[in-house]
Amino acid sequence: MTSKRPSTKPRERSILMPMAIDSDAPLDLLWKEYSLAFKEFDDLTLGRWLAQTLGQIEGKVWRLSHPLVGAYRLAAQQGHDRQIWHKRLVSPPAAYPESPCCRSPQLPLLTRDVRESGLICQHCNETLVPFDEIPADARPDLELWAAQYEPVHAVAHWEEDRRKSAGDYDRAYETAAQEAERLLSRGGSQLAPKLLAHYPAVIWEDHDECLEVRPEDVTV
């Protein structure tokens, strides 16, 4: 069990776009630095790297924090900027259908915002699968899970009045963080695997930045 500190103000949801283009936040600058490695790849090399890595991650669920996924996301963003998949220099593995959002291979990310944002494309960061279009055998569980998660996450964003009325806010925050760990764990161990029946590979978000839940806090 780790000790949690309440944050005083809500932080931006940066994980969907690790390299926010106009951001000078330290973490964004670090991601930009990491991405330089892929900038040096020519289009064909980048396309081959992406296609090969898709083959390697196929058939499994992956933590968002996994280094292979982090590298893929950087390369994918670079590939998206350069329209790699439009150029058809390489073919992705056959298991990956084309995404409706940006015509890249389908690689969905499951987040706690699934009800509002659906499953997120790892190439363009837009909605890859709207919530209503998630296959019916997986949707009810996801809906329940996201509904359970919402009030837990909201504790991090309670206004001052609500914090005061809770009495011991630190304790409420700590309890919420532990509950988030449990919910994220369920997302990775039960919900993401269910989606694997419909998508070639699935990534799940394994942290909660507002409740200061780190990937290492989430065991599956």
Contact footprint for Zn ion (CB under 5 A): 99, 101-102, 121, 123-124
Q: Cβ of residue 109: shortest distance to Zn ion, in angstroms?
A: 11
**Would you say 132 or 161 has its CB closer to Zn ion?**
132
Residue number with CB closer to Zn ion (6 or 18): 18
Q: How far is the CB of 104 from Zn ion (least distance, A)?
A: 5
Measured from the CB of residue 100, what is the shortest distance to Zn ion in angstroms? 8
Q: How far apart are CA 163 and CA 158, in angstroms?
A: 6
Do 209 and 18 meet the contact criterion of CB atoms below 8 Å apart? no
Asked if 20 and 35 count as a contact pair (C-beta separation under 8 A), the reply is no
Q: Name the residue nearer to Zn ion (CB basis): 16 or 101.
A: 101
Check: CB of residue 44 under 8 Å from CB of residue 184.
no
| CB of 49 or CB of 85, closer to Zn ion | 85
Rounded Cα gap, residues 99 and 93, in angstroms: 14
Identify any residues that bridge with 119 across adjacent strands, giving them in sequence order: 129
Residue type, position 96, single letter = Y
